[in-house]
Amino acid sequence: MTDQDQAAKPAPDGDNPLFQDWQGAFGVPPFGRTKPDHFMPAFERGFADHDAEIAAIAGEAAEPTFANTIEVMERAGRLLDRVSSVFGVLSGAHTNDALLAIERELSPRRARHWNGILMNAALFQRVVALFVARERLGLTAEQSRVLERYHTMFVRAGAGLDPVKKKRLAEINERLAALGTAFSQNVLADEQSYTLVLETEEELAGLPDFLRSAARATAAERGLTGKHVITLSRSSVEPFLQFSARRDLREKVFRAWIARGENGGQTDNRANIAEMVVLRAERAKLLGYATFAHYRLDDAMAKTPEAVRGLLDRVWKPARARALADRDAMQALAQEEGGNFRFAAWDWRYYAEKLRKIRCDLDEAAVKPYLQLHHIIDAAFYTAYKLFGLSFERRKDIQGWHPDVQAFEVNGADGSHRGLFFGDYFARSSKRSGAWMTTLRDQEKLVGDIRPLVVNVMNFNKAPDGQPTLLSFDDARTLFHEFGHALHALLSDVTYPSVACTSVLTDWVELPSQLYEHWLEQPDVLRRFAIHYRDGHSMPEDFLKRLLAARTFNQGFATVEYVASALVDLDIHTLAEAKDFDVTAFEKDALDRIGMPAEIVMRHRPTHFAHVFSGGGYASAYYSYMWSEVLDADAFAAFEETGDIFDGGTAKKLHDHVYAAGGSRDPEALYTAFRGRLPTPDALLKRRGLADVPA
């Protein structure tokens, strides 16, 4: 029976594990028994149950109280939450044709469901009544924040609009949901359909052993035993661009990589983007905002497009100057080697590796043997122990959604159970590209002491059996980044689920993750965990010093490709009118205006910019990583100022006011409670090595 056949025949309720209590260890979903045809019946019941619960709240005869309105909403929709969490993990990390079909059907249906709740006039009036009287209700600080967030959520969803505008807004939301799903599935299809097959030694020229090994394993998975395959996964493409001596093949794979979603045919995303931009602008106007960016940023720390642009512009100028200087140096290097060509985007990583060897006496091929995946996981766990007293025990008895998934029980310093952590580290064709954190269950105390089930997903190249998976330093940093998000969920200590874990403003959510990256770069951590996979020796001190000294190498490039993406995102969403929007032409014009170097391409071109167009969580908000970097650079300085990167007092404040607090208070108040003040961009520029670069 095919996946499509399974999806077409709903399972009897009694056989559907999504309707049953999950009695396994720690209430982990029964992935081994869950099939595609279980989902739609479970979603339909989840929608119906939630609708009935909401109708009861809205129709409550008693005057609204926090308990009979807000708390009951917090308890509602539990089946829907459970089913959505399981489906979300599978559709992102281990999908198939049946799940993709369900996702297409589900996305507008889910939008319709939430439209009905968030535009419910009677329910909104109860929330408004509580919000107006909030100072007299005797609420705790967390309850006040929860009430404020509910009021904001309803207002921003259009609950206060007239019926005609509500109807149009609901139509827009449903269509945007469908377009976002189509966008992400198109990118996935382009990634799945492309392989660069390498068959001869000439085609493998320049590739180090670790990359050859990974490419050989990837080929074997695709039935091409004895050959080598490069895919469009970032962990495959980037090292190939970094080491391949074949300029023609670098160009070929680079062009395929940056053209995802822009290849014509059914997977082309340009029409989807054009419609999304028009609909987002219309939605903003219905809600009383000049542009979508003004709407989106009104509920963020940044508040306005002008504030975002001010930060990005301040960083752009020195970054561009540094990148242009590096470009000129690499062009000269290519000419010295006899390269009679104009330096191009597919040359950057290759010659940057050569330039790093010259300037820093360091190359990636020498670094990678010290960064074994299992040791970097241990390093992330060790850091969590030193900072917060957490311990991690591998649980091989807990089944995940794929055999590669690893489960760990997490305990606190007092031995108490804090949750489960799942690591899904390897690239595969059933997984979307990138790296992310999500949860199967959030922490809360409203219905008991509920401990979280937290997930990290990566896309590292898996080594052949019997060999360790080796990471680049950027890969290792990504692991620490996503684990920082995981800690935000594991350490969450709030009562209400709506403000638990990572349910915070977008430009605050990246602080715990980006801050955690700093510990990877500390000599004390690297001495312990950077161990050569062949001889078992720790990284030599001289090598360690050179590695850390090279941290700011190529930061002009890295900053330019990121900031360009953030600026184009902002420019797209500050359009008041977007009729006949041509995203390719717009991208070119926007980059020309800022003087984008021709040899650098945006980190995420619009047609595969999943942050912005696959659901839109970061639409107008891709800047958030840099906004949070202002915070994280200053926050780590708090540890450095004590002379101890694991200082107990600073770690406790970090725990209490950042990792454990979730969204229970305003982010500025939380940061000020941790640091005593708000930061400036100075620490960010210093960390990136751009503080003294003339603009």
Yes or no: say if 270 and 139 are a contact pair by the CB < 8 Å rule. no
Please answer whether residues 85 and 422 qualify as being in contact, where contact means their C-beta atoms are separated by less than 8 angstroms: no
For CA atoms 46, 48, 54, 56, give the dihedral sign.
negative
| Residue range 269-321, pLDDT digits in tens | 999 999 999 999 999 999 999 999 999 999 999 999 999 999 999 999 999 99
Determine phi and psi for 450, rounding to 5 degrees: -90, 125
Specify whether domain 3-160 bears CATH 2.20.25.90: no
Q: Which residues contact 342 (CB under 8 A, 6 or more apart)?
A: 331
pTM comes to: 0.94
Q: Do domains 3-160 and 369-490+520-552 have the same CATH topology?
A: yes
Buried b (16+ CB within 10 A) or exposed e, 440-474: bbbbbeeeeebbbbbbbbbbbbbbeeeeebbbbbe
Triad 361, 362, 367: Cα angle to 5°: 155
Q: For residue 143, give the DSSP letter.
A: H
pLDDT, one tens digit per residue, over 407-465 is 999 999 999 999 999 999 999 989 999 999 999 999 999 999 999 999 999 999 999 88
**DSSP designation for 450:** B
DSSP letters, 369-431, are: GG-BHHHHHHHHHHHHHHHH--EEEE-TTS--SSTT-EEEEEE-TTS-EEEEEEEEEE--TTS
Residue 456 near residue 424, CB atoms below 8 Å: yes
Q: Is 337 annotated as catalytic?
A: no
Report which residue type is found at 671.
Y
- Cα dihedral 98, 103, 109, 110 sign: positive
pLDDT > 70? residue 695: no
Measured CA to CA in angstroms, residue 400 lies from 328, 437, 440 at distances of: 49, 15, 11
Please name every residue paired with 437 in a beta bridge, in sequence order, or none if there are none: 456
The two structure tokens encoding residue 65: 């109280």
Enter the CATH code of domain 369-490+520-552: 1.10.1370.40
Tokens of 590: 């926007």
Determine whether domain 292-360+554-687 maps to CATH 1.10.1370.10: yes
**Predicted pLDDT at 8:** 40
List 454's β-bridge partners, or say none.
421, 439
Cβ-based neighbours of 579, under 8 Å, separated by 6 or more: 278
The alpha carbons of the chain give a radius of gyration, in whole angstroms, of 25
Confidence label for 665 from pLDDT (cuts 50, 70 and 90): very high
| pLDDT above 80: residue 649 | yes
Residue 12, pLDDT score: 56
Task: Return the SS3 of 241.
Answer: helix
Q: Please state the rounded mean pLDDT for residues 566-571.
A: 98
Q: Give the residues across from 438 on adjacent strands.
A: 455
In the block, residue with structure tokens 């960010």 = 684
Does residue 24 carry a pLDDT above 80? no
Cβ count within 10 A of residue 142:
17
C-beta contacts of 56-59 below 8 A and 24+ residues apart: 57/123, 57/126, 58/120, 58/122, 58/123, 58/126, 59/122
List all residues 6 or more positions away from 357 whose beta carbon is below 8 Å from its beta carbon: 363
Selected catalytic residue, list 482, 587, 599, 629: 482
Q: What mean pLDDT is predicted for residues 40-57?
A: 98
Return the sign of the alpha-carbon dihedral for residues 127, 128, 129, 134. positive
Share of the chain above pLDDT 70, in %: 98
pLDDT digits (tens, 9 = 90+) for 479-505: 999 999 999 999 999 999 999 999 999
Report domain extents, the chain: 3-160, 194-259, 292-360+554-687, 369-490+520-552
What's the pLDDT tens digit per position in 574-623? 999 888 999 999 999 999 999 999 999 999 999 999 999 998 789 999 99
Sign of CA dihedral 639, 641, 642, 643: positive
